[in-house]
Structure 1
Amino acid sequence: MLMAHAGEDANVSNIREELDEGALGRVQSLVRAFGLMDELAKSDSMTLSDLARTVSLPRSTAHRLLTTMEALRYVAFDRATNRWSIGVQAFTVGAVFAQTRDLGKLGRSIMRSLMAEVNHCVNIAVPEGRGICYVGQVAQNGFRPTAARPGAVLPLHTTASGKVLMAHWTRQEFDDYVAQAPLKGRTSRSIVDADRLRKELATIRDRGYAMDDEEYDAGLRCVAAMVHDRDGLPKGALSVSDRSSQLARTRLYELGPTLVMAAQQMSSEIAAQYF
């Protein structure tokens, strides 16, 4: 339970000295708003009086925060019963987070089948800022982890998983990415020229899969295909990777179509489980 006065959240207290009065007030409002949502998430619905008492806030303060969140659809108010509940936007955000972070678990059966078929490591990754975060991996016994190990965040433009996501960007999204920071190379094969990268992404869109031919690591090759959500929007990347000695360059082209079909199957199964 979130206490707002004498029992003010410790994190807010820790940053009090670093913030001016106006900024601190905004942080306190955010903390209190999240506290209200936390309590609503524990029950089907609550009255304003019960909710304000539970989080130790004045009714007027609780009402102000709730009406703001209602306008954003994070909470809902039933005027017939005068009770508040979690709103549809909170559910949407939570569902998207769960679907994104659980890709490694939800698609594990497909990843295992794919690994058994191709005899290479299979990975699943999701966007993370300017990088790609690997959230799941299925590998053969004795496999030595590569750069694509779970938890690793690698640059978008030097990885197959990152490039297949970038291939679905708008022109503006691409231009913004390039403008924010220089395209840094990891190996002599890394694409660091914006025009060349743009052409590479167009090729990826046409064929449906991306390749990393030792662009991130001189000893690693990878091929990736897009996993979509129920609306057909990019959600993550399914990839096959291995050491270059085990995964020939010509093999990448052979694996591409197989990976695309597996990614399509994963997209369908994930959408079915969540919606």
Structure 2
Amino acid sequence: MNDNFSTTLVKAQQIKDYIKKQENGCTLTEIAKNVKLNKTTTYRLLQTLVTLKDLIKVNRRYYLNQYFNANYLPVGWLASRIVQPLVNKYELSAFLGMPFNQQLVITQVIAFEKRLNDFHQLGKAQAFNTSAMGKCALAFMNQTVQTDVLTRTKLQTQTKNSLTDQNSLAYSLQIIKDQGYALDDEEVELENRYLAVPVFDKNEQLVGTLGVLGTKTTLQRRKINKLVHDLQIASSQLTGQIFNN
């Protein structure tokens, strides 16, 4: 064998080729078994491919990055710099999420110092109908895409307050689009309240949502108008600085 031949690269490509064929992603165990590698080697290669952004990990399943559409919402220090002042000002955790595989995936968490457990939301997928962030994404999607998603998605129940009726959800989505934001009370977790606004690319196409989470005490209704205003400014800054650079 040629001394310049890299078996590591071959193994990484085998992993990518296998994942490419799996529409719903696959776990570490599935990949190791089908590519015939031990779990330690497979895990190391998967982590490297995620770091290189060849793969995305969501809820312990791996996907090719290309399956996230071209309007993938970048995350990292830039988003943190824009959103962190809101976290400090309102003492609420903030989240960035994007639609993927008929769900809303949390791609970044900027947690308030007294809510560090909110970091556990990173990478989690939510049914569109069960949270403000999901409903906000649905409301501002291209109409054709929205119809397709609603047709293919079974409405789920997260808590007793989740919207599971198609007509009620459609009515809610129209209100969200008209007012420019989504709010839910205890639809994801009891005693918690979510508020979310859309994030667009430079062509005004939805790429994700920006949301905040607090209790019904910390995220009070009397603060909502001001908070929505600040979230919308942050959303515009994300669009301008990320997509127009």
Q: What is the SS of the residue equivalent to 1:257?
A: helix
> Normalising by the residue count of structure 2, what TM-score does the alignment of the two structures yield?
0.67
Give the direction of change, closer, same or farther, for the CA distance of 1:189–1:11 in structure 2 (3 Å limit). closer
Deviations 1:11-45 (A, max 9, x none): 59989xxxxxxxxxxxxxxxxxxxxxxxxxxxxxx
Look up the match of 1:230.
202
Give the direction of change, closer, same or farther, for the CA distance of 1:95–1:214 in structure 2 (3 Å limit). closer
Matching of residues 32-181 of structure 1 within 5 Å:
100=72, 102-146=74-118, 149-181=121-153
Gaps in structure 1 of 5+ consecutive residues: 16-92
What is the aligned-residue identity percentage? 23
CA root-mean-square deviation:
3.3
Select 2:235's aligned residue among 251, 254, 263. Answer: 263
CA contact (8 A) 2:109 2:119 kept: no
Give the direction of change, closer, same or farther, for the CA distance of 1:251–1:187 in structure 2 (3 Å limit). farther
Q: Which has the higher Rg, Structure 1 or Structure 2?
A: 1
CA contact (8 A) 2:195 2:213 kept: yes
| Structure 2 residue identity aligned to 1:201 | L
Select 1:197's aligned residue among 160, 169, 188. Answer: 169
| Structure 1 residue identity aligned to 2:80 | R
Q: Provide the rounded CA distance (Å) in 2 between the counterparts of 1:172 and 1:128.
A: 16
Give how far 1:191 is off. 0.9
Select the structure with the greater relative contact order (CA < 8 A; seq sep ≥ 6).
2
Pair 1:218 & 2:213 matched: no
Give how far 1:151 is off. 1.2
CA contact (8 A) 1:120 1:241 kept: yes
Gaps in structure 2 of 5+ consecutive residues: 20-65
Give the direction of change, closer, same or farther, for the CA distance of 1:270–1:2 in structure 2 (3 Å limit). same
Give how far 1:211 is off. 1.0
Give the direction of change, closer, same or farther, for the CA distance of 1:96–1:113 in structure 2 (3 Å limit). farther
Q: Provide the rounded CA distance (Å) in 2 between the counterparts of 1:144 and 1:170.
A: 34
